Amino acid sequence: MTDEQRRKTHFGFQTVVEEEKAARVGAVFHSVATRYDLMNDVMSMGIHRLWKRHTVQRAAVRPGMRVLDLAGGTGDLAEAFAPRVGGRGRVVVCDINASMLRVGRDRLIDEGRVGNVDFVQADAERLPYADESFDRITIAFGLRNVTRKELALAEMRRVLKAGGRLLVLEFSQPAAPLRPFYDAYSFKVLPLMGRLIAGDSDSYRYLAESIRMHPDQETLAGMMREAGLERVEYDNLTGGVVALHRGTRL
């Protein structure tokens, strides 16, 4: 592979140079930030809350733990983790997008839930934390937007404590019988919803395309093992539309 090829990546179905992807993804989430939670409810018919609840249960967070929620955006996972880690623990919401962080911080402030929650703007490929800083790391519907997933996974493994767990909740490859319906919904209904509700059909077209370009269940499991994580396994949710991958740093 040449240097020129290495600099290329996907932005949905488009091929772009790596330096462009972060800016383009940033523009997408800046556009949808204030309507992000509403659109998630509408697009998934509320099922995304069940997927996230499953993630929280699987995380098995205990009092005193330090939790890093990457691409934490509007703070819904942090809201669930904060009472579980208690006053001796800490939850860090980390997102590259300032607009998403602002929405999440404002919402948790309004709800009085920021006592043990920090908000940090940072890139998942270059985490500003020392080795072995966190007991748990979660990333929900964010990994597919990362330019170099292998670097981000290696960073997540680096900042996990020994015995700590990474949980990746992401859209994946649905079972074959679901795919025709899923494709029709993704490429026809989602952009229309984006236009009517968020005033932005292009961003939701990108989100549908980014899901198709994301590694399937087994490929992502292999990437996590290559990053040095062990005991890697995954749960298929809603027929494989979404998968929750888990890995441990031993």
What's the CATH code of the domain at 11? 3.40.50.150
Query: What's the pLDDT at 92?
Result: 97
Residues in the chain: 250
Rounded average pLDDT over 38-59: 90
183 in any annotated domain: no
**For residue 85, what are the contacts with CB-CB under 8 A and spacing of at least 6?**
61, 62, 63, 64, 65, 66, 67, 91, 116
What would the pLDDT profile of 192-225 be if each residue is shown by its tens digit?
887 887 777 887 788 888 889 899 999 999 999 9
Give me the domain span that covers residue 61.
Answer: 3-176+204-248
What would the pLDDT profile of 121-136 be if each residue is shown by its tens digit?
999 999 999 999 999 9
What would the pLDDT profile of 135-169 be if each residue is shown by its tens digit?
999 999 999 999 999 999 999 999 999 999 999 99
Token code pair at residue 126: 């270059």
Spatial contact of 68 and 159, defined as CB atoms under 8 Å apart: yes
171 in any annotated domain: yes
Does pLDDT of 2 surpass 60? Answer: no
Quickly list DSSP for 141-186: S-GGG-S-HHHHHHHHHHHEEEEEEEEEEEE----GGGHHHHHHII
192 in any annotated domain: no
110 in any annotated domain: yes
Q: Which of 250, 244, 92, 79 is nearest to 169 (CA)?
A: 244
197 in any annotated domain: no
Residues within the annotated binding site for S-adenosyl-L-methionine? Answer: 74, 95, 123-124
Residues within the annotated binding site? Answer: 74, 95, 123-124
pTM: 0.90
Does pLDDT of 180 surpass 50? Answer: yes
How many domains are contained in the chain? Answer: 1
Spatial contact of 199 and 40, defined as CB atoms under 8 Å apart: no
198 in any annotated domain: no
Query: What's the pLDDT at 122?
Result: 95
Query: What's the pLDDT at 1?
Result: 40
48 in any annotated domain: yes
- Mean pLDDT, rounded, of the chain: 90
Q: Which of 126, 125, 69 is nearest to 100 (CA)?
A: 69
**Beta-carbon-side half-sphere exposure of residue 245 (alpha carbons within 13 Å):** 26
Binned at pLDDT 50, 70 and 90, residue 6 comes out as low
228 in any annotated domain: yes
Does pLDDT of 80 surpass 60? Answer: yes
Does pLDDT of 71 surpass 50? Answer: yes
Query: What's the pLDDT at 243?
Result: 98
